[in-house]
Amino acid sequence: MQKIVVEGGVPLHGEVRISGAKNAVLPILCAALLADGPVVIRNVPQLHDVRTTLKVLSELGAGIRADGDLIEIDPRSVHSQVAPYELVKTMRASVLVLGPLLAKHGAAEVSLPGGCAIGSRPVDQHIKGMQALGADVTVDHGFIKASAKRLRGARVVFDMVSVGATENVLMAAVLAEGTSVLENAAMEPEIVDLADCLKAMGARIEGAGTPRITVEGVDRLHGGEHAVVADRIETGTFLVAAAMTGGHVTATHARPDTLDAVLDKLRHAGADIAVDGDRITLDMRRRRPRSVDITTAPHPAFPTDMQAQFMALDCIADGAGVINETIFENRFMHVNELLRLGADIRVDGHTAVVRGVEKLSGAPVMATDLRASASLILAGLVAEGETTIDRIYHLDRGYENIEAKLSGLGARIRRIG
């Protein structure tokens, strides 16, 4: 089992290139199933979850050609509509093939994604949306089975804001007959990016990025090309690392307009932030960050995927920070590991109170989920001595070459085993 060893105490300095967004590329790869021709996707990050998604697509019969950060998907050879449990259980986002297969082939069998460390993660809103579009959907023996001769446009009102359900239903609606309106839709930048890709393939979509998305169904989608939006969570993670270590870092190839809430919190923590096109520069001038209060909520509010990283910042900040996690029911798995490093955190339900300490002390810790593992690396960057993080396969799901990128900023970090 590989581990990452970090030695704390180095203020980060320099430039880091941001990769394409994991949470945009996964639905976009699935959207290729809707086309009548090859779809070329650029700026694809080298991630475990991307490789898993490509495995699912090739299981379905799609042709895959990879060339660096370019992936070409040819959906014309798709011969199966069954997404197997063995693959879906390793990555929940595989459920995003449901909408495209149903819309394109009139049938889909997708293993019910299990829960994961951060929560039960049901898919009832995905199913509700497909039924609203006229599909017959049953769930038995651990499989979602959906069928429809041709989906019909409809008004879909989501009971709660769901990124995945919005994406799945959007992908189903683009080939439905007639108009669909998605109400209470998620507004994340990854939804906008998916819609941009679908429009490049000939889809007719208005309102992506707002709570109401209108789709005029078309009979077919042609192939197309799309470059994936920059990863706002990777960007935020590196900027928090710079703030925690008192450093001076520029993130390049970023999209500053997609992380206003995060930049706002970093300014509250005392960071000087300058934005120039696709470059974001954070200068902490060797200062200790001030504590910040965080409440996670759907975009454009503060993203749940940055909660663990800011908890690490509050652990060594001047003051006390209150963190409310409102999206997932169990997203404080990093707390026990941060306590091992000497943090002062009190959890009461969905709220954590973090009192900043002068310093953390390095120790062996264990990653439990993707963003928790990132927060442990951040804590290791400032802890005295060495911090060894185990189970880093969680990290490789969502961060491309994180230790290479951090080493490039001067961090003393290495992978062992």
Interface residues with ligand EPZ (CB under 6 A) are 22-23, 26, 93, 119, 121-126, 160, 162-165, 186, 304-305, 327-328, 370-371, 398
How does DSSP assign 160-219, residue by residue? S--HHHHHHHHHHHTTSBSEEEEES----HHHHHHHHHHHHTT-EEE-TTSSEEEEE--S
Min separation Cβ 18 and ligand EPZ, Å: 15
Phi and psi at 56, nearest 5°, equal -60, -45
Task: Identify which of residues 248 and 331 has a Cβ nearer to ligand EPZ in the complex.
Answer: 331
Find the helix packing angle between 98-105 and 124-132, rounded to 10°.
20
Residues 6+ away with beta carbon under 8 Å from 170:
99, 182, 185, 191, 194, 195, 198, 205, 208, 213, 215
Query: Which residue's C-beta sits nearest to ligand EPZ?
Result: 164
Complex with ligand EPZ: residue 15 or 124, whichever CB lies closer: 124
- Least distance CB 65 / ligand EPZ (angstroms): 23
Q: Name the token pair of 333.
A: 């798995």
Residue type, 140: D
Smaller CB distance to ligand EPZ: residue 284 or 323?
323
Q: What's the CA gap between 364 and 390, in Å, rounded?
A: 8
- Least separation in angstroms between residue 385's CB and ligand EPZ is 28
CB of 394 to ligand EPZ, least distance (A): 10
Shortest distance, position 245 Cβ to ligand EPZ, whole Å? 23
Question: Distance (Å, rounded) from C-alpha 138 to C-alpha 127?
Answer: 9
Q: Which is nearer to ligand EPZ, 150 or 350 (by Cβ)?
A: 350
My answer on whether omega of the bond before 300 falls inside 30° of 0, hence cis, is yes
- Closest separation between CB of residue 21 and ligand EPZ, Å? 9
Residue 361 to residues 320, 357, 389, Cα–Cα distance (Å): 19, 11, 14
Is residue 325 within 8 Å of residue 332, measured between CB atoms? yes
d(CA 228, CA 215): 21
**Sign of the CA dihedral 306, 270, 16, 13?**
negative
Annotated catalytic residues are: 116
Q: Which is nearer to ligand EPZ, 237 or 291 (CB)?
A: 237
Nearer to ligand EPZ, 171 or 383 (CB): 171
Report how many helices (DSSP H) and strands (DSSP E) the chain contains, helices first: 14, 24
Q: Which is nearer to ligand EPZ, 347 or 357 (CB)?
A: 347
Q: Cβ of residue 181: shortest distance to ligand EPZ, in angstroms?
A: 19
